[in-house]
Amino acid sequence: MKYYILGPLEVTADGGQPVDLKAKRLRALLGVLLLHADRVVPLERIIDGIWPDEPPRSAIENVRTYVFQLRSMCQNPSDRNRLESHPGGYRLRVEPEQLDLQRFTTQAANGRHALGSGALSSAATLLASALDLWRGAPLAELELGSAMRAKTTALEEHRWQVQGDLINTRLALGERAELVSTLQELIGERPFDEGLWCSLMSVLHAVGRTCDALTAFARARTLLVTELGVEPGPALRRVHAAVLEGAEVLGVPSFVGATTTRAVFALHQLPAAVPDFVGRRTELTRIQTLAERAAEGALDHVQIVLVSGSPGVGKTATAVAAGTNMRQACPDGEVLIDLRGSTAQPKDPGAALGDVLTAVGLSTDAIPVSLEHRVALYRSILVERRMLIMLDDAANAEQVTPLVPGLGQSMLIVTSRRWLTGVAADLHLRLEALPRPDALEMLARLIGPDRVEREPEAAASIVEGCGRLPSAIRIAGARLAALSHHPLRFLASRLRDHDRVLDELSVDGMSLRQLFDTCYASLDAQSRRSFWACGLCPSELITAANVGEALRLPVPTADRQLERLIHEGLLSCGGPVSGVPTYRMPVVLHAYARERLADGSRQVRAS
């Protein structure tokens, strides 16, 4: 259920249909409990709250009856259990999304935090959103006791404080004429608020309507003298004097730190580029070109780059290299979030948003609880910044979508072994194994160019045995660097043995088999069987016919299974042979498929 008290009391069920509450004491009880949501309300306070005059002798029994009726109206058992009985009182537990008062408090606090940090557009969005929750005087139609009325009066005062913050924010953003009608409307509601009259006179004077500004002062003075018997206060008199002198009235409020905002939030969370990174020149150029066009304002939306490919192909290293080159295009810095999509516990999007909001300077208590409000705050903040958001190792599109910025000139780079068809990327780069020259250059950087030059055939055999995957080459290079006097041919011969190649590609906590294990664990049963069947085909010539024969599936069905493996980042499209589509797999991943096939066969025989 959802409750609304920032105006007349309203209650809606889970489907959005209104809940009919006609009995005035029942409504009053619910109003009292919601004004103290999540707190135990003593029975005496409830009685004083719902009977403004003398309560009946049966007040305690009446309250128990009303509590029973409130519980009976809840169709959902979980809602029914939220109204708790406690010694001496009752408590109504609500989630932040269930009560408009809690949403208002959270959004107002976030807006004020953004204002104090100099994020003016974000502050304006959040403060306006908080005020939009109001529908009138809180619970004005209910007969409540004096203590409850004091609470609703305090709520209205809070509302006007937020309204004042919003006006100051809009002034600091340079709004002038746009505020005149707003201020006149607000003065209609609060005619004795001298702060509103000061703002109205200042705005009118700023837009050249000096006569109207002086007329506004005359109206305010007449109202104050006639109704209250007092002259205008010092602030209103100062604005009046400034208008008469033709002096500038409006200045930027002292709380605004807009001139230093970028310096405060210039984040640089990207790791240093790996020294053995080579190649990917075409991909880096395409990303850089997109970033430059965005920085020039040539594009009308946040740019998204998706980098996908098989495990170990160097997606993260490529994205980091691209991000390092983009610092001029993204002067407000870079944020890196590991989404852990290849693990058994991918990162929750809400938690990822919390990490980003913390990184840009928000305190924990200023970060909204709900995913919806975190997304709104995240996108509002990024509107004012040109940042690079890097999401590494995404699991799926559902995990990425809440982290896509809205408007602005920021950029988003997402890495994932999966294709992520649900992400509307401006640039999708599918990385393949390194070309042989780049693979040899990478090996040379790891072990020294002289060793590669002395044994060029063995060096070429090593990188081919690694499937020209950067992760595999890095492991082989680490082993060879430690064995500086060993000939390259010894490791080359071992890597040619497909039954032990994965045993060789493991050193000091780095293991290609473990990398593949995390990907394999996320596959469903049918995809695992299709993956096994690929191990029966040559690594460079996998066809739907061969896989279908192995799995006893029709060719179209087998082809769909192979397409799923492409989306999982475990296969690539090869060229057609005699008009028949083919697929390919890096030799080390193919060796892993053969291992899993053998394991699966043993399990089948054992069962």
pLDDT in tens, 36-73: 998 889 999 999 999 988 899 999 999 999 999 988 88
Tell whether 99 and 137 lie within a shared domain: yes
Q: Is the pTM of this model over 0.85?
A: no
- Give the mean pLDDT of the chain: 87
Asked if the structure places residue 259 within a domain, the reply is no
pLDDT higher than threshold 70 for residue 364: no
Q: Which residues have a Cβ under 8 Å from the Cβ of 436 and sit 6 or more positions away? A: 460, 463, 464, 468
- Tell me which DSSP letter residue 259 carries: G
Confidence (pLDDT) at 451: 94
For residues 424 and 451, membership in a common domain is answered with no
Q: Check which CATH number belongs to the domain holding 531 and give it.
A: 1.10.10.10
Asked if 581 and 595 count as a contact pair (C-beta separation under 8 A), the reply is no
Residues 99 and 209 in one domain: no
Q: 488 lies in which domain range?
A: 436-511
Residue 150 lies in a domain: yes
Q: Is residue 398 part of a domain?
A: yes
pLDDT tens string 145-188? 988 988 898 899 889 989 988 998 888 888 888 899 999 999 99
Do 276 and 389 lie in one domain? The reply is yes
Residue 219 and residue 349 share a domain: no
Longest Cα–Cα distance in the chain = 103
To 5 degrees, how large is the angle CA 284–CA 289–CA 292?
125
What is the predicted pLDDT for the residue at 74? 77
CATH number, domain with residue 324: 3.40.50.300
Q: Residues 145, 245: one domain?
A: no
Same domain, 570 and 455: no
User: Which of these three, 511, 537, 564, is where a domain ends?
Assistant: 511
Same domain, 293 and 358: yes
Domain boundary among 485, 511, 537: 511
Q: Both 12 and 160 in a single domain?
A: yes
Picking from 453, 377, 436, 464, the residue whose alpha carbon sits closest to that of residue 129 is 377
190 inside domain: yes
Q: How many domains does the chain have?
A: 5
Write down the H helix ranges in 117-176: 120-131, 146-172
Say if CB 569 and CB 308 are below 8 A apart.
yes
Coil, strand or helix at 30 = helix
Same domain, 282 and 421: yes
In the predicted structure, residue 605 carries a pLDDT above the cut 50: no
Does residue 270 sit in the same domain as residue 212?
A: no
Residues whose CB falls within 8 Å of the CB of residue 522, separated by 6 or more in sequence, listed in order: 342, 344, 395, 568
254 within domain boundaries: no
Residue 424 lies in a domain: yes
- DSSP conformational letter for 363: -
Digit-coded pLDDT (tens) for 176-196: 888 999 999 999 989 998 889
* CATH code of the domain in which 239 resides: 1.25.40.10
Considering the domain architecture, whether residues 507 and 527 belong to the same structural domain is answered as no
Decide which of 166, 197, 217 is a domain's last residue: 166
Q: Does pLDDT of 414 surpass 80? A: yes
Q: Report yes or no on 9 lying in a domain.
A: yes
* Tokens describing residue 101: 């008062």
- Summarised one tens digit per residue, pLDDT across range 574-591 is 888 888 999 999 999 999
In a domain, 516, yes or no: no
pLDDT, tens only, 219-249 = 999 999 999 898 998 888 888 988 888 877 7
